[in-house]
Amino acid sequence: MAIVGYARVSTEDQSTEVQILDLKKFGCTEIFRENASGADRERPQLKAVLNRVRKGDTLVVVRIDRLARSLAHLLDVIDTLERKGVVFKSLGDPIDTGSPQGKFTLQILGAVAEFERSLIRERTKAGVRAAKAIGKKPGNPGLIAKDPLARRRVARARDDRLSERIIAGADAFLPIVQRLRPDHPWDRVVDVLNTAVKKRPGDNPAPWTRDALIRAVRRLVADGLADPGLLKAAPRRSKKAVAQTARLVELVATIHNAAEGDKPTLARIGRQLERQGVRTATGAKTWGPSSVKGLLDRAREQGMIDQEDSPATA
């Protein structure tokens, strides 16, 4: 249970030393320093500290304006920390998510933020109606004019939001990826990951797919939060492994084609494989929808099933 600090100044001419002293005095054993404007979305050290903290840790700043660029951003960051089981504390503000008083203050801030969002929505609707009344097209003028700079800004904002979501959930999948990659192919990593998620109590998120997992790891690598070696190609499979996969592809195609009426769902095919005692290519007893889909896709590519037959995931 570490106490981790985050210090930020806006320009290179300023110093984080005063913040560092306060954070060390409070008991921070690890401190992340950043030189960036509060409005700057490119804050690698903030991304790093959000990836670093673990359940039971405490993230400390001297003031909330050192952490967030807006109230909405502050609440997003705190929500990310709470999902990871991390306490947030601001030394200069009455915010401590580990205390009842701090949580009450946070609830008030949340209500204020929701009220602010409601006002923005109403003003936006009014602006759209006024623009339409005089014959103008509502929306981002730069995007409407196909301005390259405006498009880059929108894409950058979208990438930042994606990075924040992936970092928030990295604790759940990155350790498994680090343990298996690049020694094992992505299909096996997905099987192991989905089996681990299914066994974990609490929320039951949607299963990972091969492409989604690769995109998530690429994002972490791009943000400097994961080893690029994870993306290296896995060693070539043995003849025995290739033959085993071919057998599984044929078996899944047979189950799919033998169904009368509506084609079976991925989950239904997986349950039938489990009843027959068939194990996945990784040796797991449980079949996830992504594992079945991967085999069905191969069967479709080899002409074993109709191209138009696409089973549902449920």
Any idea what DSSP says for residue 116? H
CA nearest neighbour of 6 among 75, 53, 41, 39: 53
Tokens of 28: 């921070």
Judgement on whether residues 26 and 76 belong to the same structural domain of the protein: yes
Task: Examine the pLDDT at 304 and tell me if it is beyond 70.
Answer: yes
Measured CA to CA in angstroms, residue 46 lies from 12, 66, 149 at distances of 17, 10, 25
Claim to verify: residue 166 and residue 249 sit in the same structural domain: no
pLDDT classification of 130: cutoffs 50, 70, 90: confident
In a domain, 294, yes or no: yes
Do 225 and 263 lie in one domain? The reply is: no
Instruction: Say if 132 falls within a structural domain.
Output: no
| 224 and 246, same domain (yes or no) | no
Q: Is residue 173 part of a domain?
A: yes
Give a yes or no: residue 27 inside a domain.
yes
Rounded CA-CA distance 124/138 in Å is 10
Query: Do 170 and 224 fall within a single domain?
Result: yes
Please say if the pLDDT value at position 68 is more than 70: yes
- Pair 294, 260 in one domain: yes
Average pLDDT, the chain: 81
Identify residue 312 by its one-letter amino acid code: A
Residues sharing a CB contact under 8 Å with residue 47, sequence separation 6 or more, in sequence order: 163, 164, 167, 223, 224, 225
Residue 71 lies in a domain: yes
pTM, to two decimals: 0.47
What is the pLDDT confidence band of residue 7, given thresholds at 50, 70 and 90?
Answer: very high
Residue 153's CB: how many other CB atoms inside 10 A? 15
C-alpha closest to that of 289 among 266, 314, 263: 266
Query: Is 277 within the bounds of a domain?
Result: yes
Question: What average pLDDT does the segment 98-121 reach?
Answer: 76
Residue 58's domain is classified under what CATH number? 3.40.50.1390
Rounded to 5 degrees, φ, ψ at 3 are: -105, 110
Token pair in block for residue 182? 């690049």
pLDDT band at 300 (very low <50, low <70, confident <90, very high): confident
Residue 99, helix vs strand vs coil: coil
Please tell me what DSSP assigns to residue 229.
Answer: G
When pLDDT is averaged across residues 193-205 and rounded to a whole number, the result is 64
Q: What is the mean pLDDT of residues 297-312?
A: 72
Residues 200 and 244 in one domain: no
Residue 84 falls within a domain, yes or no?
Answer: yes
Range of the structural domain that residue 266 is part of: 239-301
- The residue-averaged pLDDT of 26-32 equals 93
Confirm if 263 and 256 have CB atoms less than 8 A apart.
yes
DSSP code, position 279: -
Out of 81, 102, 123, pick the residue that ends a domain. Answer: 102
102, 119, 142 - which closes a domain: 102
Q: Please check the confidence at residue 245 and state whether its pLDDT lies above 70.
A: yes
For residue 103, pLDDT over 80 is answered with: no
pLDDT value at 60 more than 90: yes
- The predicted model gives 43-69 an average pLDDT of 88
163 catalytic per annotation? no
Roughly what angle, to the nearest 10 degrees, separates helices 100-133 and 71-83?
A: 130
188 and 256 housed in the same domain: no
Token digits of residue 264? 């079976």
197 and 251 share a domain? no
Is 289:310 a contact under the CB 8 Å cutoff?
A: no
The C-alpha atoms of residue 264 and residue 275 are separated, in whole angstroms, by 15
Least confident of 86-95, 241-250, 253-262: 253-262
Q: How many residues does the chain have?
A: 314
Instruction: Examine the domain organization and report whether 166 and 254 are in the same domain.
Output: no
Domain count, the chain: 3
Q: What is the pLDDT at residue 62?
A: 92
Catalytic residue, candidates 10, 15, 70, 118: 10
Classified as helix, coil or strand, 158 is helix
Residue at a domain's end among 231, 259, 277: 231
- Distant-in-sequence, close-in-space partners of 64: CB < 8 Å, separation ≥ 6: 74, 90, 92, 93, 95
CA dihedral for 54, 55, 56, 59, sign (positive or negative): positive
Q: What pLDDT, on a 0 to 100 scale, did the predictor assign at position 28?
A: 93
- Quick one: 213 and 252 in the same domain? no
Could you tell me if 280 and 205 lie in one domain? no
Q: Is residue 272 part of a domain?
A: yes
At 26 the pLDDT is 93
